[in-house]
Amino acid sequence: MKNANDKKLLEVKDLKVSFFTPAGEVKAVGGITYDLDYGEVMGIVGESGSGKSVEAYSIMGLLQSPGKVVGGSIMFEGENVLNYDKNKMNDFRGKKVAMIFQNPMTCLNPVYTVGNQLTEALRAHHKDISAADAKKKAMEMLELVGINNVEKRMTQYPHEFSGGMRQRVMIAMGLICSPKLLIADEPTTALDVTIQAQILELMKDLQKKTGMGIIFITHNLGVVAEICDKVSVMYAGRIVEQGLVSDIFYNPSHPYTVGLLQSMPRVDAEEYERLIPIEGTPVDMLNPPEGCPFAPRCSQCMQICLKKLPPYVEIEDGHKSACWLRVQENMKCKEEQANG
Partner 1 sequence: MTIKKAKFGSLQPDIENLLDLTPEDFAPATQEQKEGFIPDRESTSYWKDAWRRLRQNKVSMAALAVIILLILFAFIGPMFVPYGYDQFNRGAENLYPWHYSLEDQAILDGVLGSDDERIEAAIAAAEKEKGSALTSIEIAKIKATAKASKLDIDEFKKEHDIKLKPFGYSKSELKRIEDGEKVFPHVCGTDKNGRDIMVRLMVGTRISMLIGICAALLVLLIGATYGSISGFFGGKVDAVMQRFVELIYSIPEMLVVLLLSTALKPSLENFQNSGSGFFQSLVGTLGPNLISLFVAFGLLYWVTMARIIRGQILQLKEQEFVTAAKALGAGSGRIIKRHLLPNCIGQIVVTTCLQIPAAIFLESFMSFLGVGVSSPMTSLGSMASDALGGVQTYGYRLVIPALLLSIMILAFNLFGDGLRDALDPRLKK
Partner 2 sequence: MAKYTIKRLGMAFITLLFVACLTFLLMNSIPGSPWLSDKNPPQATIDALNEKYGLDKPVAVQLGKYLKNLAQGDMGVSLKMQKNRPVIEIIKDMFPVSAKIGFFAILWAIVVGVPLGCIAAYNRGKWVDSFLRIICTIGISMPSFVVASLLLTTFAGTNEALRLFPTIFDAKLGVNTYILPCFALGLYPMCYTARQARSSMLDALGQDYIKTARAKGLKNPSIIFKHALRNALIPVITYLGPQVAFTFCGGFVVEKVFSVPGLGRYFIQSISNRDYPVIMGTTVFLAAFIILMNFLVDVLYKVVDPRINLAEGGK
Is residue 309 near partner 1 by the rule CB under 8 A?
no
Q: Closest distance between partner 2 and the C-beta of residue 258, in Å?
A: 34
CB 220 within 8 Å of CB 189: yes
Q: Please say which residue, 147 or 283, places its beta carbon nearer to partner 1.
A: 283
Strand partners, 285: none
Is residue 19 near partner 2 by the rule CB under 8 A?
no
Separation CA 301–CA 23 (nearest Å): 30
Separation CA 318–CA 247 (nearest Å): 9
217 binds, among partner 2, partner 1, none (CB under 5 to 8 A by kind): none
Strand partners, 43: 216, 231
Q: How many CA atoms lie within 13 A of 18 on its CB side?
A: 14
305 binds, among partner 1, partner 2, none (CB under 5 to 8 A by kind): partner 1
Q: Of the ranges 6-14, 71-79, 121-129, 233-241, which one interacts with partner 2 (CB under 8 A)? A: 121-129
Separation CA 159–CA 106 (nearest Å): 10
Binding mask 47-66 for partner 2 (x = CB under 8 A): -------------x-x--x-
Is residue 159 near partner 2 by the rule CB under 8 A?
yes
CB 148 within 8 Å of CB 64: no
Binding mask 249-288 for partner 1 (x = CB under 8 A): --x-x----x------------------------xx-xx-
Q: Of the ranges 43-51, 87-95, 263-271, 289-297, which one interacts with partner 2 (CB under 8 A)? A: 87-95
Is residue 110 near partner 2 by the rule CB under 8 A?
yes
Q: Closest distance between partner 1 and the C-beta of residue 85, in Å?
A: 29
CB 215 within 8 Å of CB 182: yes
Q: Please say which residue, 24 or 78, places its beta carbon nearer to partner 1.
A: 24
Is residue 194 near partner 1 by the rule CB under 8 A?
no
Is residue 246 near partner 1 by the rule CB under 8 A?
no
Q: Of the ranges 38-46, 63-71, 235-243, 297-305, which one interacts with partner 1 (CB under 8 A)? A: 297-305
- Angle among Cα 49, 55, 61 to the nearest 5 degrees reads 130
Closest CA to 257 of 57, 50, 101, 56: 50
Rounded to 10°, the helix 114-125/131-144 angle is 110
Distant-in-sequence, close-in-space partners of 259: CB < 8 Å, separation ≥ 6: 276, 278, 297
Is residue 264 near partner 2 by the rule CB under 8 A?
no
Q: In the chain, how long is the greatest CA-to-CA distance?
A: 76
Is residue 81 near partner 2 by the rule CB under 8 A?
no
Q: Closest distance between partner 1 and the C-beta of residue 243, in Å?
A: 12
Q: Please say which residue, 79 or 329, places its beta carbon nearer to partner 1.
A: 329
Beta pairing, strands 238-244 & 319-322? antiparallel
Residues in region 7-26 near partner 1 by CB under 8 A: 22
CA distances from 265 to 198, 201, 260, 273 (A): 20, 21, 10, 9
60 binds, among partner 1, partner 2, none (CB under 5 to 8 A by kind): partner 2
Residues binding partner 2 (CB under 8 A): 60, 62, 65, 90-95, 98-99, 101, 103, 106-112, 120-121, 124-125, 157, 159, 170, 173-174
